[in-house]
Structure 1
């Protein structure tokens, strides 16, 4: 999840098609989503429901 976030952030920053404001907004919006995905994975591992967490995280990633 963090790797996907870092790659997205790098793409947004390196792209020259738009100004820097949308890039900063997108990067800041991605941080809570990435942290939520990590927290969800940690909770599911402790509960033994890794598959459910993976599906939810996948849906969140698709929505982005």
Structure 2
């Protein structure tokens, strides 16, 4: 997703303004994609992390 990829080099608010979208929309897309990338899959189970937990992890890495 081009919009989400743009968030890797800039802030979510900058990207939201550029594409004239609500900040919360871009934020949700960004963290939903991050969540899908952090899912651990194995043949017997799938471990899902809560969106809040993923957001907290990513925010700690940024700052």
TM-score w.r.t. length of structure 1 = 0.33
TM-score under structure 2 normalisation? Answer: 0.34
| Greater fraction helix | 1
Which structure would you say has the larger RCO, counting Cα contacts within 8 Å and 6 or more residues apart?
1
Going by fraction, where is strand more abundant, 1 or 2?
A: 2
